Structure 1
Amino acid sequence: MITVVGIGADGWTGLPEASRHALETAEVVMGGPRQLDLLPAHLTAERVAWPSPLLPALPALMDGHAGREVSVLASGDPMFHGIGSTLVGLLGAARVRVLPHVSSVSLACARLGWPVERVEVVSLVGRPPQTLNAAVLPGRRVIVLGAGREAPSLVAGLLAGQGYGPSPITVLSDLGADTETAQRGTAETWNEPAASALHVIAVECVAGPEAEPLARVPGLPDSAYEHDGQLTKREVRAVTLARLAPIPGELLWDVGAGAGSIAIEWMRSHPSCAAVAVEHRADRAAALRRNADRLGVPSLRVVEGRAPAALDGLPAPDAVFVGGGLTTPGLLEHCWERLGPGGRLVANAVTLESESVIAQWYGRLGGDLVRLAVQRASPVGGFTGWRAAMPITVWSLTRKDVPK
């Protein structure tokens, strides 16, 4: 049994009796150097500082101390972006006992008077900073977990770059300790590091005149994307994502991704949604990556190559969108075979040849077949008329007990 003890910046004095007892009876205490330094000298346990990098070394480290009473120190709540979650994933919940402390987010909200349930939390620890972009919307309160004393300046730069320069920022350092401090400013004027490496960044998002708020629901404006015309247009994109039906924690394959709009908006629907965008043209793949960064999903995986060969070795998807290459031999077969029960396949066709492929699959497996025709108002001389976009055929199917 591994006991994970949450500890705050107030150290030993802030620990409840159960946490102190676990550390006093442990044979080994593991943690970061800063956490280990918070322990009193009278503890007899062997102190083991985390190696770097930690995650690759963790299994061998646990095996090396098997059979001993081991306590692990974690900042605040170990199950909130902490080592507790990692150890449960590695060892199983039955082998890990967690004694949580108050999280830094709860302490920050208490200081600011913010209801915790109305705050969005974004961790940039070990993640690209552009992850914050998706959470920045007018009126939202966001607490950012940063890494390093320069994190507030990085966050301020991201906010100002999106037109949210007037947003108030409060940096709370050493929460709960005698050295606790609060630094205040705005994104457009921020120019100082955090007082301590142990800090959180509280942001009240205020849009400046140049900001372009982007909703989290599908159907972002086409202008939100850098593209060369290879883009699933706004109205069709909204229908397509409704058919793909993203569920938190699921993985999408976006095959023939172009500008990446389907994969990006799939991931924007929930922070736990993941996607792989497959695109064979290097210039489009590069633009796709820039789109993902700007729209707050930098963890989108981009695979450069031609499907179906480029799909080999990818983790099995929960949903697949085929936006290009429908006439490629074996492509739909490969995608269909990789889907498990409940998996969704959506394919969009714009040419007669790709429609023919869809019609054959529809005739064999069924599903839902819809043709979308979109018209947009545009000038006709001194008047206004309708201009029709090319119609799109959308075929969608959920894998149940369907014959192959």
Structure 2
Amino acid sequence: MSPLRFLSSLLLSAGLFQAQASLADDFSACLARLQPEARAKGVESVSYARYTQGLQADLSVLDLLNAQPEFVTPLWDYLAGLVDEQRVADGKAMLAQHGELFDRVARQYQVDKYTVAAVWGVESDFGRITGKRPLLTSLSTLSCYGRRQDFFRGELFATLKLLQDGDLRDTGITGSWAGAFGQTQFMPSTYARIAVDFDGDGHRDLVNSVPDALASTANYLRKAGWVAGQAWGYEVQLPASFPAAQAGRGKRRSLSEWQALGVRRIDGGALPDGALKAAVLLPTGPQGPAFLVLRNYDAIYSYNAAESYALAIALLSDRLRGGSGLRTPWPTDDPGLSRAERKQLQELLIARGHDLGTPDGLIGNSTRRAIQAEQQRLGLSPVDGRAGQKILKALRGQ
């Protein structure tokens, strides 16, 4: 290495070290400033020092904060991966395996067991995927940097209180980047308020106890306003003259009023009690599927305030109940891929010489770059790196 390049390398390393040291000092100062606030929330000083000792900021969570899939992914892509044949089959298997438990939970909390199973499936793939990010690291970082710091501080303090009180016993517990954890992905403050000990072992354990996780989810839905015996809603057929301005969860009418306006169930069945209030949803515009949603849809929506998420739970619950799925196609000429199809797409890309490692069905940057290269080679438009049916069919054809 030339003396000039060696000097440049030293200066770069020194600058990086200085930046890291500055970040560590800033983060430590932030945690020190938060201690009195934590104490006011019931976290003792000794506990605070014990559980925050050695924490280091992970700024990668800030990128995830601004790119939540519920809000940036096309709905047909989002649902294709969450409500696929594999998840439906797995959900039915879980309902059979834990049949007595699901029935007990449904009786005690008066909540539909298929909806509880759907939450379990969407949130953690029935306990298989609960998140790999250290909870304390993510929440402490989000408490000191980025937007919504007040919200994440509340979740950090709730986590520390759960550890202090013994509800959580593993300081290295992992979850999502935003702090949700366990088999049905409760936020820490929700865990503190809603979690129940359903297996009777004296602990509310939503990480390792299926009974506690399912019962706590049912308890959440009940407290969110679930109405026993009612559906979440229906896919419907709208009259050609239906004004799109009348759609939206905040624009409710009685079912008899919607009936008078020409709204009909897509399967031809009659709408229930005409006095019930409902709203029409057009999540992808007037050319896509239309839904008439009732109070139970709002309970689902409160679990994760995104229309796409609520629809995933609702539609998966219908499939687990034995339904055949949507009748109206999404308004796109390039529908999304199931998880099995995404894995097959990666296998085809690897066969074309792209280095993607082991196919896992997860569409990351490497897969998107490979798709872009193949879209360009095949003359497909747009060259956007999106994993859809068009690129899959084109590669299958070769």
Structure 1 length as normaliser, TM-score?
Answer: 0.24
Structure number with bigger Rg: 1
Higher-RCO chain (CA-CA 8 Å, sequence separation at least 6): 2
More strand by share: 1
